[in-house]
Amino acid sequence: MLTTNSTTVSTKTLKAAQECLGHLTEGTGAIVAEFKALQMIAEDTGLPLDGQIMSDCEQMFIAINRLMYDQQSKLKHLQMMKKVGDLAEKTVGNLRRQHAGKTGKKQESTLFNQAV
């Protein structure tokens, strides 16, 4: 079943949220890299770190990274749908103006009823 999101969000807000999510995904990726580096150092030097704890922490940040990408994708979808909606409104507005110009009448909301 197709669902729609009727939440109205400004383009500026969407861009700000995407920027924040971008920083989070980069940050969690960097943390994963640091965990991997620390694990390699521990293996090479015999540093007494619990490998299971390090691996669990790494996996948590990998999951966070993946979830942030999921949220970023949803915001990109909202942004695209906002652009599509704005374009549709502009198109209908142009058609109404053209129709009003041809008939010499004031713009009417029944533009498409007359085509039938």
4-62: per-residue pLDDT in tens?
555 677 888 888 999 999 999 999 999 999 989 998 999 899 999 988 898 899 899 99
Distance of CA 46 to the CA centre of its chain: 43
What are the Cα distances from residue 4, in Å, to 7, 10, 41, 68, 81?
Answer: 9, 17, 49, 22, 10
In this structure, which amino acid lies at residue 47?
A: L
Taking CA atoms, 86 is separated from 60, 63, 91, in Å, by 39, 35, 9
- Please write the tens of the pLDDT for every residue from 37-51: 998 999 899 999 988
User: What does the angle CA 24 – CA 26 – CA 31 come to, to the nearest 5 degrees?
Assistant: 90
Model-level pTM?
A: 0.65
